[in-house]
Amino acid sequence: MAGKWVKVGVLALVAAVVGGALIARASNVPADAKYVGVTKCRLCHMEQYNTWKETGMANAFKALQGDEVKNPDCVKCHVTGYGKEGGFKDVDSTPAMENVQCEDCHGPGSAHVEAAAKNLGSEGPWEKHINKVPENACVGCHNTHINFKKRAEELRAKAG
């Protein structure tokens, strides 16, 4: 009986890996796209921007305390594009990428912005240069298996 469940588990793992690979390949964002920041997004998407401003994501970076702003384990979930071209590097050089912005879920927006500027006022190809938010976009940071309040307390105590 246990052998059956092992096979089911292996099949589920393979399906998850293949499904993830297909989602990654289905990206509409060109490989050379760069992060542009929420100030560019709001130029055309003011309603969505105003909604975002009311969320915790718009203030995620403020939740970090002391040296947490330099700790990759903390920073990666409180900024946009951490470790990626045009994304957040540090407080001094990329303050415009603080907080969890549009591109953290939709992917880097430079190609979307460029295509929209060229086709302003028409339905153009810019939709091909941005991703719809995948259903599992949030789980990278919002994981039900992690008690983030407890994890933050542990990291703060360790840095102590």
Query: What CATH number should be reported for the domain holding residue 45?
Result: 1.10.1130.10
What is d(CA 91, CA 125) in angstroms, rounded to the nearest whole number? 34
Residue 18 in any domain: the answer is no
CA–centroid distance for 71 within its chain: 17
Which run of H or E residues covers position 139? none
Residue numbers of the domain that contains 132? 31-159
Question: pTM of the full predicted structure?
Answer: 0.71
In the beta sheet, which residues pair with residue 79? Answer: 98
Residue 62 has pLDDT above 50, yes or no: yes
- The C-alpha R_g of the chain, in whole angstroms, comes to 19
Name which residue leads in pLDDT, 135 or 5. 135
Residue 39 in any domain: the answer is yes
| Count of domains observed in the chain | 1
Residue 22 in any domain: the answer is no
Q: What pLDDT score does 53 carry? A: 96
**Mean pLDDT value across residues 54-71:** 93
Q: What pLDDT score does 117 carry? A: 85
**Mean pLDDT value across residues 21-37:** 72
Residue 104 in any domain: the answer is yes
DSSP letter assigned to residue 144: T
Residue 1 in any domain: the answer is no
Residue 140 in any domain: the answer is yes
Residue 155 in any domain: the answer is yes
Phi/psi for 89 (5° steps) reads: -110, -50
Q: What pLDDT score does 155 carry? A: 73
Residue 1 has pLDDT above 70, yes or no: no
pLDDT in tens, 16-25: 443 443 344 4
120-140 residues labelled b (16+ CB within 10 A) or e (exposed): eeeeeebeebbbeebeeeeee
SS3 content of the chain, % helix, strand, coil (to 5): 55, 0, 40
Position 158 confidence tier, pLDDT thresholds 50, 70, 90: confident
Residue 44 in any domain: the answer is yes
Q: What pLDDT score does 8 carry? A: 40
pLDDT, mean over the chain: 80
